[in-house]
Amino acid sequence: MSFPQLADNIWYFECPVRFWGLRFQTRMTLVRLCNGGFFVHSPVALTDEVRMNLRILEYNNGPLHIICPNALHHIFAEPYLLEYPDSRLYVSPALPRRRADLKFDEILNDSPPDAWSHDLDQYIIRGNDYLQEVVFLHRSSRTLIVTDFIEHFTENSPGLGLATRLFARLFRMWGRPAPSPEFRLYSNPDQLRESIELLLSLDFNRIVMAHGDIIEASIHGTARELIREAYAHLW
């Protein structure tokens, strides 16, 4: 199966994972960069299907820029570095202390590197010292790319185990966008609120996240309104 395409120059791919004994899907997002190569956000397992699709997308026109956007989404990064020697690894500020063994090229901050500065903006979500997630805005498609900042589980979400459905309901994450459990462990609510207010000032109409249904504007509200609703407890 080919990578589903969200808009011009942006694709995604999902695969099953287990975490805390729960079964659900995780999503990788790929952006073709105008300077050549691909931005690979939250990589999934490097399977033959992924390899084939990278060939179809002509990844070899430039390097793969592998993104580990928070302290949790790093498990599948190393196989890409081994298989594609010209790839580069960029990590959340939280990851070096968690993965001292992981060799990376750059720690992400609020300024995009030259490799994708013409395509994407990036922002550290402050106030959660555990995750220190970095989110990205793909300007041309008006797509906000996040990881665990927002999750969105519904009856349409594939690959959910029974325990996952019960867990999502218990944590009030079912049927509506919501912060992940890890994002509720914030260390500074004022900093988190300021980061969210900055995101709400950006121009986007879609949110693609690592877990759950992609968010588009709907009768339930715009993508920005749904973020504000998910974090309403901070105001």
The whole-number pLDDT of residue 207 equals 96
CA-based nearest residue to 144, from 197, 206, 94: 206
pTM (whole model) above 0.75: yes
* Rounded CA separation 26/96 (Å): 22
* CATH code for the domain defined by 5-234: 3.60.15.10
The whole-number pLDDT of residue 94 equals 94
Give the model confidence (pLDDT) of 189-230 as tens digits.
999 999 999 999 999 999 999 988 899 876 567 899 999 999
Low-confidence ranges of the chain (pLDDT < 50): none
The whole-number pLDDT of residue 160 equals 66
The whole-number pLDDT of residue 59 equals 62
